[in-house]
Structure 1
Amino acid sequence: MPAVSALVLGLWGIDRQDSMWRDESVTYQVAHRSLGELWDLLGTIDAVHGLYYLLMHAVFALWDGGLTALRLPSTVATALAAAGVGSIGARLAGPRAGTLAGLVFVLLPVTQQYAQEGRSYALVTAAVTWATYAFLRGIGADRRPWWAMYALLLALGCWLHAFAALVLVAHGLTLWWLRGTHRVWRRWGAASAGVLVTVVPLAVVGAGQADRQLGWLGRPGLALWLQFLATVAVGVLLCRFLGRGLLASLALPVLVVPAGLLMAVSLVTPWYVERYVLYGMTGLALLAGAALDRAVGLRRRFAPAVRTLIAGGLAAAAVAVLLPWSLLVRSPESRKDDVVALAHAVEHAARPGDGVLFMPARRREWLLSYPSLHGRLDDLALAESPVRSRTLQGTELPAETIRRRILASDRVIVLSDLPGEPLDPFARELVKRQTLKAYFQICERTRLRGGQVIVYARDGRCAR
């Protein structure tokens, strides 16, 4: 039931009103590169997503189905993760608790969001969830095949995203709470060592790319800390309601430890983003499912009419709370920007041969998934294309050359962040802003989700 529910919800509005945001655009355009071009890119940046890009390259080679093909692997992975949550819950607290835990996981707004995301996080969650199931079976049966499966699945999760390795700490804490035998500790230690050794090459390459990969992140602010502490508080309260047992000892560390460790590290080196440890939500779902199962048992003390009233009230409250969130995550407003809308605005405003500038340069991503449109415009700052430069957004010319090329143009289409966003202080970005302000006038401005398209022209050249 959880897996089928996840598939149904994942397929509902999977095109997200024909929208795509910048991270998904990266996946789309990188996955369409040749294997040689993809390998060259991973040597420069995004090695931590390399396995996912290879998977998506294969998906598009089999079926170039646009936004549906881009997001379908995440939808299927979410269904697998939901089945894993249900299986863990059923083994620890009974079939009803497992079903409820799986359904809670599926209904979480953050789960629904990443079930329709063209990135790796749902796949990581599926791998970590089934690795946790193998860990649970290994503790109980102490058989080598379960520990081998544990190592294999967790290594897969780490190669999809390196921060999946943080769940090892959570599992270690579970063993400590349960006072695992020396034999179980040895088996778990050997499996964990195998996982870490397997991902050493990725860790080495990823460490060299960390500044380029994560340089945009800031330290967690007060809002993130309050959100994390609220999640921890909910988990602890659920554990108090359930009492100390194997489920609480397994679920609470998975919920708290990966996110907590990443946030603590981010006080020194900013690395925390909620989606990097999305799999922690499986811990919350397990606790909530077991708590709901116990509440259903307590409900039998009431008269049938009272039980019906309580059940109806809870169902109505769940719909009232979850439906607006479910609708929101299937709309363009749920993401930072909308690449599709921005590209359509450029297509509407531009004439063949117009110059185009991206301010800042990383916003070139907004047109890279539309190569035919990008090719019709003169990219005034581009030195080498993304493929030739082995980068995501290409490299740009020196500032003075950019200035000369702008001055040689009559009309320039600019794709930039919305007003109020921080302006890059680099020389290339400064010269773009200064030259346009001094020698051009604004003919048209279209503000969209997360960005804007501005048409600049010399005096008298605004007319279409």
Structure 2
Amino acid sequence: MTIEDQQAGTIGKWSTGDIAWVLSILLIALTARLLHIESQPFWLDEALTYQRIHLGIDGLIADSFSNRHMPSYFLMLQLFSQFDSADAWLRIPSALFGAMSASMVFVIARRIGGRSAAIVAGLLMALSPLQVQYGQEARSYTLVTLLITVALWGLVRLAQNPVRASLGIRHPEFDWRGWVAYVFGTIGALDVLSDAAPWLIAANLSLFLIWRNLRLEQPHEQHAGFRRSWLLSVAIILVCCVPFYGAILAASDGQMLQKFDWVPPLSWRNLRVAAKSAYLMRIAAVVRFSVLPTAVPLLGLLVAVLGGIGLFRMRGRLEGRVLLLGFAALPLLLLAISLVKSMVLPRYILWSAAPFFILAGMGAAALPRRLVPVAATALLLLCAINLAPVYRIETKPRWDKAAATLAANVRPGDTVFTGDPNAPTMLAVLQPRDTSPIGNTALVTPRLDVALARWKQGGRVWAVNGRSALGQREELDAFKTRIAALGAPALEIPEGKEITILMFAAPKSGT
């Protein structure tokens, strides 16, 4: 069956083979996310998650809104943490949501383009390095992605059969599954993270296109019925979401964009980094705006070509326009905002990879059926080889090692001076659980004047150079120059690629 023959609806009923494949995709995705899930330490965002879920409910909600976050994910994680507070345990929900997102991508691609498209799209989503990386973080990005894929499935249903979508709610043929999936998936995503807000724009542009198609081809009662359901969906979504966004605006004191000053400035290089990591299967360095060397250089080009072919094959179809808007609306909107305040980050465009991988699956479906098993096997191997470095290289600063070193060596009267203002948070969260808090033994401060004064009074100083998140990093030589008043360090201890600890002995009497 050609893609042109599929205009009227879905491609056949599911078979045992389809069920086996979607379960395989789920298993592959879950394995990729659970494998070495504990090997990378928390970085700043995860450390803040850890601190937030250990607040009381009122404190958690207030802290979430003041930091432009919805409290829903953190309330869920707070409940989940009652089972075990280990760092890896807090990441398991993200692994589950990420794996389910891959299976939803399979389901959507299967509905549009058949099993071949679904296998390729599902494998790309399952083994995308960026999707796996955020599937191993105690943050809400994979939950938002899952909810948007649910909403996208509903929107695709509506686009495939607009006539059913336009029937009255009480009509037995009304497509309630499509509307319910779209509405509740959208509400869920918006009420978890504001990164989902562009989805509402993309989805309503898609609904407009469906309505316009009905208006051109169907009687008045058809497009009028669709318009009523569309307006009802908008009303329900706004009622369920606007109060929470109002709370975020109230807590931000009108300074929403100013609080994103840490985002790297807009540049062609940074745009390429975001695109390569989100869509073209490259591994991102979490605290450096860069991609790491790839094990399979041509994989990104292959995915880009498949995406282009898929977009070409879907031209003229409402489902194709839905996928294009789902993919393109988010990065284009962030690009437009970035002309005023830079907002382009790989994790901010994470969910738009789902419709892109579906388009890539549609491109792969152009292969002759007899080549599909070979192509799927080759893709699985290439993606696995490409993903392997995620598990063995340092993508997050080793604040856990720095905290362990300090906990084992500081003594009363010492001062720990941190070049990064967020480092005290990292050291407090990542210190070994079986040791006394570093702050109980030594003073931890990001203020050099305080550290210098205590050193002059006869105390040792441990100076820690390293970054906890994105932002301008002070290089080690510049850091040493800034603290030159402390003299020459007695010890210099590297902790991974990003962190160096310098120990300055107490000054001799009379200095």
Instruction: Report the TM range for the smaller structure's normalisation.
Output: 0.7 to 0.9
Paired residues for 1:289-328 under 5 Å: 289-297=361-369, 300=370, 307=371, 312=374, 315-316=377-378, 319=381, 321-328=382-389
User: Does 1:218 pair with 2:264?
Assistant: yes
Q: CA deviation at 1:423?
A: 4.8
Q: CA deviation at 1:331?
A: 3.6
Q: CA deviation at 1:25?
A: 1.9
User: Does 1:446 pair with 2:499?
Assistant: no
Distance across 2 between alignment mates of 1:70 and 1:229: 28
- CA deviations on 1:9-51 (whole Å, 9 max, x unpaired) are 2222221x253322222222322233243234235x3241522
Q: Which runs of 4+ in 1 moved over 6 A?
A: 432-435
Q: CA deviation at 1:456?
A: 2.0
Q: CA deviation at 1:282?
A: 0.6
Q: Is the 8 A contact 1:32 1:60 kept in 2?
A: no
Distance across 2 between alignment mates of 1:434 and 1:410: 20
Q: CA deviation at 1:72?
A: 0.5
Q: CA deviation at 1:197?
A: 4.0
| Residue aligned with 2:191, SS | helix
Distance across 2 between alignment mates of 1:367 and 1:417: 12
- Return the TM-score normalized by structure 1: 0.80
Distance across 1 between alignment mates of 2:399 and 2:257: 25
Compare the two structures and name the one with the higher helix fraction: 1
Matching residue's letter, 2:439: G
Match 1:354 to one of 414, 427, 430: 414
How many positions carry a matched residue from both structures? 424
Distance across 1 between alignment mates of 2:323 and 2:87: 34
Q: Is the 8 A contact 2:116 2:364 kept in 1?
A: no
Q: Is the 8 A contact 1:48 1:202 kept in 2?
A: no
Q: For the structure 1 residues 195 and 330, does the alpha-carbon distance in structure 2 shift closer, same or farther, using more than 3 Å as the test?
A: farther
User: Does 1:457 pair with 2:505?
Assistant: yes
- CA deviations on 1:117-146 (whole Å, 9 max, x unpaired) are 221111110011101112233443424564
Instruction: Say which is worse superposed, 150-159 or 175-184, in terms of deviation.
Output: 175-184
Q: Is the 8 A contact 2:327 2:354 kept in 1?
A: yes
Q: CA deviation at 1:329?
A: 2.0
Matching residue's letter, 1:220: L
Which residue number in structure 2 is paired with residue 120 of structure 1?
140
Q: Is the 8 A contact 2:120 2:376 kept in 1?
A: no
- CA deviations on 1:81-109 (whole Å, 9 max, x unpaired) are 12211221122222443343222211222
Distance across 2 between alignment mates of 1:341 and 1:229: 32
Q: CA deviation at 1:348?
A: 4.2
Q: For the structure 1 residues 219 and 439, does the alpha-carbon distance in structure 2 shift closer, same or farther, using more than 3 Å as the test?
A: closer
Q: Is the 8 A contact 2:97 2:146 kept in 1?
A: yes
Q: Is the 8 A contact 1:154 1:165 kept in 2?
A: no
Q: CA deviation at 1:318?
A: 5.4
Q: Identity over aligned residues, as a percent?
A: 23
Which residue number in structure 2 is paired with residue 417 of structure 1?
466
Match 2:338 to one of 266, 272, 293: 266
Match 2:442 to one of 378, 395, 398: 378
Paired residues for 1:130-149 under 5 Å: 130-139=150-159, 140=161, 141-142=164-165, 143-144=175-176, 146-149=178-181
Q: CA deviation at 1:405?
A: 4.1
Q: Is the 8 A contact 2:411 2:442 kept in 1?
A: no
Distance across 2 between alignment mates of 1:36 and 1:245: 48
The alignment yields a C-alpha RMSD, in angstroms, of 3.3
Q: For the structure 1 residues 247 and 342, does the alpha-carbon distance in structure 2 shift closer, same or farther, using more than 3 Å as the test?
A: farther
Distance across 1 between alignment mates of 2:246 and 2:343: 16
Q: Is the 8 A contact 1:328 1:334 kept in 2?
A: no
User: Does 1:67 pair with 2:127?
Assistant: no
What runs of 5+ residues in structure 2 fail to find an aligned partner? 1-22, 166-174, 215-222, 281-303
What runs of 5+ residues in structure 1 fail to find an aligned partner? 301-306, 382-395, 425-429
- CA deviations on 1:338-367 (whole Å, 9 max, x unpaired) are 222222232344234421122132222221
Q: Is the 8 A contact 2:410 2:442 kept in 1?
A: no
User: Does 1:150 pair with 2:222?
Assistant: no
Paired residues for 1:16-415 under 5 Å: 17=39, 19-42=41-64, 45-64=66-85, 66-139=86-159, 140=161, 141-142=164-165, 143-144=175-176, 146-178=178-210, 179-181=212-214, 182=223, 183-207=225-249, 208=252, 210=256, 213-226=259-272, 234=305, 235-297=307-369, 300=370, 307=371, 312=374, 315-316=377-378, 319=381, 321-335=382-396, 337-370=397-430, 372-381=436-445, 404-415=453-464
Q: For the structure 1 residues 434 and 103, does the alpha-carbon distance in structure 2 shift closer, same or farther, using more than 3 Å as the test?
A: closer
